[in-house]
Amino acid sequence: MPSLSALATLLAFSDVILGSPVDVQKRKPFSLGQVERKKFVKHGPTQMAKDLRKHGVAVPEAISIAAAAGPNGSAPAVPGDQYDSLYLTPVTVGSSTLQLDFDTGSSDLWVFSSLQASSQLTGHDYYKVDASKKVAGATWKISYGDGSGASGTVYADKVVVGGVTATSQAVEAATSVSAAFQRDTDTDGLLGLAFSSLNTIKPTPSKTWFDTIKGNLPSPIFAVTLKYHAAGTYDFGFIDKSKYTGDITYVNVDNSDGFWGFTATGYAVGTGAEVKTSIPAIGDTGTTLLYLPTAIVKAYYAKVSGAKLDSTNAGGWVFPCSATLPDFTATIGGAKQVVPGKYINYAPLETGSTTCFGGIQVNDGLPFSIFGDIFLKSKYVVHELSATPRLGFAQQ
């Protein structure tokens, strides 16, 4: 077994020793300016593993183990309230540690900041901006599906998640946030994990944190393990077999609109037969519920005693909190993904109410279905940001 230093030497001359055939174009002499990459901290074994793989050389176990222990990271996803309305993860931004909502349905890393009126900051941790890090002329403004939103200016600063550091990440410092965010004193901002094409910074969009650091991971992946009324994890750069059962089923992603898009091919309610139908959808950790076509939602609540659509008072499908809810199954990549019925009771309409709001609601007005937290919290979901992006689903 060659030593790590021997492998380092090997790799230092890998282009020569491995003799990878090089197709040298006949061209005029030219020189390429070297620009040092400052964006992240390198990890030797990870780089070795990548270089060996690039040249088709089997990666020795010692390197694989060292790489797996490399700059990959794991961070907790803690429910923001007793109903799993959202999940929060600690992130170091500059010199502040903030609780951010990791959102695979958007692509801005924005934070409450010292630029806001102090009245907006009550109950929040916030980013203390450093004028020397301001990105001149850059602004941002984001609006979400529920009408909430925020806007502000941009700073280039250190952002650390689960021990993985981006040394100069675009940090979107809020100058103003909507009332919903002001009221939600648990959330100090969002960290977007959709595709960078959705980033709202003007005049030049920036990369998401994951896009910034993915090249320094053993693999360009992150895995989402949200849990029912419990803390889960966001893992970066590795797959943790202890977090799922059975196999991971992969599907190709359509990211043409910047989302983690996929198509489910059928559904079932409870023990009923599968109904084969195409369900265009996105995975979205920033959305609380599971939004589906009206026909599917009606078929589901037809099996719930006392369920009704109360658009006026409740804004959706409700049922007696005592109701027994059937499981919901979506077929994705040929695999049956089951959501336990009890996960589909989101919350009482208000504290003490005996009427509960459904975790499955209609996707009216949306161009696709949204597989939000109600679906995700029974799954282990691998997000692979490779040349052809993929999603992998497994049962927790």
Sole window of 58-66, 142-150, 242-250, 348-356 interacting with ligand ZSD (rule: CB under 6 A): 142-150
Site membership for ligand ZSD, residue 145 (CB under 6 A)? yes
From residue 154 to residue 173, the character string flagging contacts with ligand ZSD as x (rule: CB under 6 A) and all else as - is --------------------
Provide, rounded to whole angstroms, the least separation between the CB of residue 125 and ligand ZSD.
15
Sole window of 254-262, 282-290, 296-304, 379-387 interacting with ligand ZSD (rule: CB under 6 A): 282-290
CA dist., res. 166 & res. 39, Å (int)? 6
Q: Are strands 221-227 and 134-143 parallel, antiparallel or unpaired?
A: unpaired
Q: Which of residues 283-312 bind ligand ZSD (CB under 6 A)?
A: 284, 286-288
Nearer CB in complex with ligand ZSD: 70/189: 189
Tokens 């499981």 belong to 327
CA dist., res. 278 & res. 266, Å (int)? 6
Site membership for ligand ZSD, residue 250 (CB under 6 A)? no
Sole window of 11-19, 141-149, 265-273, 349-357 interacting with ligand ZSD (rule: CB under 6 A): 141-149
| Of the residues 181, 195, 260, 291, which one makes contact with ligand ZSD according to CB under 6 A | 181
Helix ranges (DSSP H) in the chain: 4-12, 14-17, 44-54, 61-68, 118-121, 179-183, 209-213, 294-301, 373-376
Nearer CB in complex with ligand ZSD: 85/265: 85
Nearer CB in complex with ligand ZSD: 101/211: 101
DSSP summary character for residue 243: G
Tokens 């589909």 belong to 344
Nearer CB in complex with ligand ZSD: 151/265: 151
Catalytic residue among 84, 284, 327, 373: 284
Site membership for ligand ZSD, residue 60 (CB under 6 A)? no
Nearer CB in complex with ligand ZSD: 18/180: 180
Under rule CB under 6 A, how many of the chain's residues touch ligand ZSD?
A: 20
Provide, rounded to whole angstroms, the least separation between the CB of residue 2 and ligand ZSD.
47
The answer to whether 112 and 125 have CB atoms below 8 angstroms apart is: yes
Site membership for ligand ZSD, residue 349 (CB under 6 A)? no
Neighbours of 71 (CB within 10 A): 21
Provide, rounded to whole angstroms, the least separation between the CB of residue 215 and ligand ZSD.
25
Q: Are strands 360-362 and 290-292 parallel, antiparallel or unpaired?
A: parallel
Q: Which of residues 95-114 bind ligand ZSD (CB under 6 A)?
A: 101, 103, 105-106
Counts for the chain of helices (H) and strands (E), in that order: 9, 24
The reply to whether 186 belongs to the active site is no
- Provide DSSP, 51-114: HHHHTTPPPPHHHHHHHHTSS-EEEEEEESSTT-S-EEEEEEETTEEEEEEEETT---EEE-BT
CA angle 178, 180, 183 (to 5 degrees): 110
- Burial class from Cβ neighbours inside 10 Å (0-12, 13-18, 19+) for residue 36 reads exposed
Site membership for ligand ZSD, residue 343 (CB under 6 A)? no
| Of the residues 184, 188, 327, 384, which one makes contact with ligand ZSD according to CB under 6 A | 184
Catalytic residue among 103, 188, 235, 373: 103
- How many Cα neighbours within 13 Å face the side chain of 126? 24
- How many Cα neighbours within 13 Å face the side chain of 158? 11
| Of the residues 9, 128, 146, 315, which one makes contact with ligand ZSD according to CB under 6 A | 146
CA dist., res. 79 & res. 232, Å (int)? 9
Q: Which of residues 71-90 bind ligand ZSD (CB under 6 A)?
A: 81, 85-86
- What CA–CA distances, in Å, run from 349 to 71, 196, 374, 387? 43, 36, 17, 44
**Active site (catalytic) residues:** 103, 284
**Which residues lie near ligand ZSD (CB under 6 A)?**
81, 85-86, 101, 103, 105-106, 144-146, 148, 180-181, 184, 187, 190, 284, 286-288
